[in-house]
Structure 1
Amino acid sequence: MSGVLLGPRPTASALAAPRRYTRAEWAARPPTKAATVLNRAPDHIVVHHTATANAADLSREHAFTLSRAIQSFHMEANGWEDTGQQLTISRGGHLMEGRNRSLAAINAGDLVVGAQTLGHNDHTIGIENEGTYMTEEPTEALWDTLVATCAWLCDVHGLDPQEAIVGHRDYNTTACPGDALYAQLPRLRNEVAGNLGLRRRVRQGPPPEPSGLPGPRHTFDHGPAA
């Protein structure tokens, strides 16, 4: 499975990046070790859910609190060096840098090695989407930012959204990103393709079957990551 786009795009690469909030803006703590940066682009974008409550608070302040909570859990409960994922989107549509050095790496066309998809952290970039999407779907604000973020990443790294955008369950035994959100991935690929001026793919067949796996066992449990 390759996510690299072969041949030139039909339109020039000039897609505006969505608003990103840096680690300094959400008051991240220092990592225990600087993240590893690989001098190559990711070949897939992995969509996750955070396995947290589907909060009604859509504010930026709530989004920043979420990022700090994820970092604390990853560092204290999991014993990791920092936040695992490279990017986080809140239900209010706020896009935040996760693991340290992630935004600089993306801007340089490189990849920060995360802790978000077990066995595949050296070639994928992960997006955590706030909420639990086993039965519910994301908010409109989150969805719009997810589309814009995936389009930006595909544009920067030269990826074909139809091949590059996957769910966590495509790599690991997990229900993540939830049955409802996973079923929307064909739509996500098509909308990203439209933003990039690429041909949309007509959806074939019925929606994917539910994973049959249990949902999150506890807050922040979205399956094997590191």
Structure 2
Amino acid sequence: MHHPHLSRRGLLIAGATGLAAAGLPAAGAAAAPAVVEPDIDGTREWNARPPNGTVRVLSQRPDKIIVHHTVSANTSDFSRAQAHAHARWVQDLHLDRNGWLDTGYHFVNSRGGWLTEGRHRSLSTLQAGWGHVMAAHTSGQNDRAVGIANEGSYHDGAVPPAAQWEVLVTLCAYVCERYGIAPHRIHGHQDFGDTLCPGVLQDMLPRLRQEVADRLP
């Protein structure tokens, strides 16, 4: 299947002015909706540290997505450089404080809508549409769920910026398409443990599932 490809700026334009501005079929058009492959900066691009051991790739497809927030500052710096700095902050936290193998999430979505690969090998595995990188984001679900973290703290009434939301929808739709995951299997961290994560994003899950469903053929 051919995946129409937009740049990051194209994704932000699509979020701000609608799919038509990005050259995608308008709502109600006869053509099936396009599943956009989002740009994701790999671990090499954001200068990740090497993992503290071997990253396992399981010979199975994940069956769900779990949404998180990183409980970092709600910065107004929406730049790619900030996204990279935040990815390094998350990895340092998980390696040095938690003692984990690598970043616990598969992907991290910045407040400016810039995506970074979290745990090594997550991007290539997603693009292949088969296999699953064993991660460390949700107890009991790490062998079967794609973990997507959103930069920021959303348990105190704050809401994600428009660009971050748009790219979250785009990434979730792409993950669902590549792995054959139904939109109703998009969850929040709270569904699997006693946690405030992902804050208001938990309440926004019905909207997220619907918007993802609208992107899928």
1:206 is aligned to: none
1:137 is aligned to: 159
Cα drift, residue 106 of structure 1: 1.1
1:224 is aligned to: none
Residue 98 of structure 1 is aligned with which of 99, 112, 118? 118
1:187 is aligned to: 207
Give the Cα–Cα distance (whole angstroms) in 1 for the partners of residues 54 and 69 of structure 2: 25
* TM-score normalised per structure 2: 0.82
1:159 is aligned to: 181
1:55 is aligned to: 75
Cα drift, residue 16 of structure 1: 2.7
Cα drift, residue 13 of structure 1: 9.5
1:115 aligns to 2:136 (yes or no) = yes
1:30 aligns to 2:55 (yes or no) = no
Where do 5+ consecutive residues of structure 1 fail to align? 1-10, 198-226
Deviations 1:96-145 (A, max 9, x none): 10001101111222110100001111111100100111111100010000
* TM-score normalised per structure 1: 0.79
1:83 aligns to 2:103 (yes or no) = yes
User: What SS does the corresponding residue of 2:78 show, helix, strand or coil?
Assistant: coil
Give the Cα–Cα distance (whole angstroms) in 2 for the partners of residues 130 and 52 of structure 1: 6
Give the Cα–Cα distance (whole angstroms) in 2 for the partners of residues 166 and 13 of structure 1: 23
1:170 is aligned to: 191
- Label 1:13 to 1:99 Cα distance change in 2 as closer, same or farther (>3 A): farther
Q: Is the 8 A contact 2:34 2:216 kept in 1?
A: no
Give the Cα–Cα distance (whole angstroms) in 1 for the partners of residues 167 and 115 of structure 2: 7
Where do 5+ consecutive residues of structure 2 fail to align? 1-30
Q: Which has the higher helix share?
A: 2
- Label 1:119 to 1:131 Cα distance change in 2 as closer, same or farther (>3 A): same
User: What SS does the corresponding residue of 1:46 show, helix, strand or coil?
Assistant: strand
Residue 172 of structure 2 is aligned with which of 150, 174, 180? 150
Give the Cα–Cα distance (whole angstroms) in 1 for the partners of residues 118 and 32 of structure 2: 29
Structure 1 segment 212-223 matched on structure 2, within 5 A: none
Q: Is the 8 A contact 1:106 1:156 kept in 2?
A: yes
Deviations 1:51-106 (A, max 9, x none): 11111000000000000011011000111111110000000000110001101111
Give the Cα–Cα distance (whole angstroms) in 2 for the partners of residues 122 and 95 of structure 1: 22
1:213 is aligned to: none
Structure 1 segment 197-208 matched on structure 2, within 5 A: 197=217
Give the Cα–Cα distance (whole angstroms) in 1 for the partners of residues 138 and 32 of structure 2: 32
Q: Is the 8 A contact 2:33 2:215 kept in 1?
A: no
Count of residue correspondences: 185
- Label 1:13 to 1:159 Cα distance change in 2 as closer, same or farther (>3 A): farther
1:45 is aligned to: 65
